[in-house]
Chains A and B, each alone.
Chain A
Amino acid sequence: MTTLSDPQGESFRLSMLLNDTRYRSYTFQFIALVCVAALFAYLGSNLMANLRAAGLSISYDFLGDPSGYDINQTMIAYTSQSSHLRASIVGLLNTLLVSILACITATIIGVVAGVLRLSNNWLVSKLMAGYVEMFRNVPVLIWIIIIFTIMTAVAPSPSAFRGDDPDASMVFGMIAFTNRGVYVPAPVFEPLGWVVLGVFLASIVASILYRRHARKKLFDEGVLLPTTWPTLAIVFVPAILVFFVLGRPITLDIPELGGFNFSGGVTLLGSLIALWFALAIYTGAFIAENVRAGILSVSRGQTEAAAALGLRPRRIMNLVVLPQALRVIVPPLISHYLNITKNSSLAIAVGYMDLTGTLGGITLNQTGRAIETILLLMLFYLAISLTISGLMNVYNNAVRLKER
């Protein structure tokens, strides 16, 4: 290389765009860009021409019209007279609900399974390996359908709870597992009940402050304060005391069988449960592998060094291994969360009314506005995905290895 003398003041010639390696890649990228743009322009204009020929036009006016259909799980007020837009928002909320539930559950399952897979106990580690391989290698749609089918086939129908000598009975007298879903009691807050809730939330904050204090004390003065028991005490004791002192202001609305179905309490639809667990178990298997990889990425020397310092295994895990493993675990975790959100659109297989079921399903079908709804659907999912990756990137920056 050093033998080459610098080309002195060579002026730019057009042929250099092809011959000179400095410019060639730009040339090709530019050509590719033009081709892609031309392709999309062609598709777009062709689409417009065909729509015009068929007498159709792009319009979002339908969003304001009454939807005309009912939805079985609505987190905001909704009737068949509400607009298509509102139906889409109901769907969006349902998508977010199942995604958040599944993300949390998948993370817990993944971390537990990932750590256990490295266990020295042969049976435990093989069991976890079995779980990972089984769930990772079967499409999630199949898991959704399997879980849903098992639920509808195995659980009794509400009518089995009827009569003097029913075939089925409620667990603890308050939870009913049926093939339509699980009916659980709902808390009912009397005015004073909110005080109890307030105390409980305040206690949680207090417990966090206490743990901070304990940590500071450990780092500054080397005094190890107990944390587990005090935390539990701070969180629960005041709330329980207030609850009884105020005369039990929170009661339970227990589901009751009336007419065709259970009423009262909270209903977790079978479709929600199937989708939630299938997504959680399936994605949990992937997360378990990431966790395992993350832990293995921390060299054994670190563990041995920590052990030599006299740390107990749990502390080694919490203080030495996990903080370093997180930087390997978190980036793929983001994409798993995104996958959960996107895979939740398989909801229609079990009749869960998510965004794809309302906007991309019934609304699309009843209005025939395929292009408009698909574009809107893409926009919604894009927004959710970008939000998730934005939030997770913030977290990733927080756990990143700090270079000092």
Chain B
Amino acid sequence: MKTSVILGTMTLAAMAAGAAGAQTLSDVQDRGTLNCGVTTGLVGFAAPDANGDWSGFDVAVCRAVAAAVLEDPQSVEFVPTTGKTRFTALSSGEIDMLARNTTWTFTRDVDLKFEFAGINYYDGQGFMIPKELGVSSARELSGATVCIQTGTTTELNLADYFRKNNMDYEPVPIETNAEAQQQYIAGACDVYTTDASGLAATRAAFETPGDHVILPEIISKEPLGPLVRHGDNEWGDVVRWTLNALIAAEELGITSANIDEMKAGTESPEINRILGTEGNLGEMLGLDADWAYRAIKANGNYGEIFAKNIGESTPIGLARGLNAQWTDGGLMYAPPFR
């Protein structure tokens, strides 16, 4: 019993210690580092390299926020979280923000009391299966053994989908993507299901990616984005507008290559407002005038981040699709900077 008691007490203490007031911004600035919750490792989205340096699509958001707030994109403490631990980590105050392929849902927003700062990837849940099983549609999966990560929207969607289509399956609950990958490769489950982007990233890490197919059915909407605790609107604004700055930068043609040039002043008032040469947007956020300049300079604009980490020229090879700018027929649409 002792361990349970200690665990319980620690949880209570952690909840108690997370006296999360509305001051995350000054906490982060005083501390000098940003604690950012990420995955335990999903190449392309968030994974450490051999030197322990994290990189990826979600990591870039953390770095942009650190650049805006702390003037240094490297001042980030990455905290790996699983599907199960991520929300406790955020609500207890262990991390300042979470950027971990997390789906914006009603209950997470309203009941769990989080604040989604926006959407950095429009995704949906898919299935991956070895080619040799000869399955071409998710409708043929009745009776299959399915690997799923616990604590995700994935497992709920899966239960709904199979119930709706009157099929049965055997779930194999798994903590992390790495374990799921291992089980799937060993054939302990027939199918792996998670967000389609995650499937692509997982498949890219296989020895022979060509032996596996991702089925055409997308069974859910998974808008993924960074989130913060509910109730600290100043901090929520900082994260939201940092993300918006990255997206707007792509739309307005601000890139890491031309940003220094543009910083000297341009014809476009909106670019000038973003880069701080006109108006006082930074001051309104509680930051300095160069906040967005640093955020964009850290890893480039949204399009550059996408292309570098998960885009078509990378092994993961995701097309922009829904994640193209609205001007290109996608859903990426930053509200105006004024």
Chain A residues within 8 Å of B, Cβ to Cβ: 43-44, 46-47, 50-51, 53-56, 68-72, 79-81, 152-153, 157, 159, 179-180, 258-261, 263, 270, 338, 342, 348-349, 351, 353, 357, 361-362, 364-368, 370-371, 374-375, 377-378, 381-382, 385
Contacts and interface: CB of A to CB of B under 8 A. Distances in A.
A162 to B, nearest CB: 10
B263 interface: no
B216 interface: no
Interface stretch (B139-147, B198-206, B218-226): B139-147
A50 B108 CA distance: 19
Given A72-B172, A260-B144, 13 more contacts: A50-B18, A55-B113, A70-B159, A152-B183, A259-B142, A259-B144, A260-B141, A260-B190, A261-B170, A270-B188, A338-B1, A348-B175, A382-B4
B19 interface: yes
B188 A371 contact: no
Interface stretch (B116-124, B150-158, B237-245, B299-307): B150-158
Given A43-B13, A159-B133, A342-B1, A366 B151 contact: yes
Contacts of A371: 11-12, 15
Most buried by A among B11, B142, B159: B159
A260 B171 CA distance: 13
B188 A362 contact: no
Contact of B12 (A43, A81, A368): A43
Contacts of A159: 132-133, 187
Given A47-B16, A69-B155, A357 B173 contact: yes
A362 B15 contact: no
Interface stretch (B60-68, B84-92, B94-102): B84-92
A262 B99 CA distance: 40
Interface string B179-211: 000010011111000000000000000000000
Given A70-B159, A342-B1, A361 B151 contact: yes
23 contacts: A46-B19, A47-B15, A68-B156, A69-B171, A70-B155, A70-B162, A70-B169, A72-B170, A80-B163, A260-B141, A261-B143, A338-B1, A342-B3, A365-B84, A365-B87, A368-B91, A371-B11, A374-B8, A374-B11, A378-B5, A382-B1, A382-B4, A385-B1
Given A50-B15, A54-B20, A378 B8 contact: yes
Interface of chain A: mostly helix, strand, loop or mixed: helix
Given A47-B16, A79-B163, A260-B145, A361 B187 contact: no
A70 B155 CA distance: 8
Contacts of B156: 68-69, 366
Contact of A365 (B9, B11, B150, B162): B150
A51 B4 contact: no
Given A259-B142, A351-B174, A361-B150, A370 B15 contact: yes
Contacts of B8: 374-375, 377-378
B88 A180 contact: no
B6 to A, nearest CB: 10
Contacts of B18: 50
A109 B35 CA distance: 48
Contacts, number: 146
A7 B308 CA distance: 90
Contacts of B155: 69-70, 362
Interface string B227-258: 00111000000000000000000000000000
Given A50-B16, A80-B163, A157-B186, A365 B151 contact: yes
Nearest to A365: B151
Interface of B: 1, 3-5, 7-9, 11-13, 15-16, 18-21, 83-84, 87-88, 91, 107-108, 111-113, 132-133, 141-145, 150-151, 155-156, 158-160, 162-163, 169-175, 183, 186-190, 229-231
A152 to B, nearest CB: 5
A202 to B, nearest CB: 39
Nearest to B135: A260
Given A80-B163, A342-B4, A180 B16 contact: no
Nearest to B22: A53
A403 B152 CA distance: 60
Contacts of A362: 150-151, 155, 173
Contacts of B190: 260-261
Contact of B1 (A56, A348, A381): A381
A393 to B, nearest CB: 16
For the complex of A and B, list the 10 residue pairs with the smallest distance between their C-beta atoms, beginning with the closest. A157-B187, A365-B151, A80-B159, A259-B143, A368-B112, A46-B16, A260-B144, A351-B173, A152-B186, A68-B156
Contacts of A153: 186
Nearest to A62: B111
Contacts of B169: 70
A91 to B, nearest CB: 12
Contacts of A261: 143-145, 170, 190
B299 to A, nearest CB: 31
A126 B190 CA distance: 44
Given A69-B155, A362-B150, A351 B172 contact: yes
A79 B135 CA distance: 26
Contacts of A157: 186-188
Contact of A368 (B1, B111, B150, B160): B111
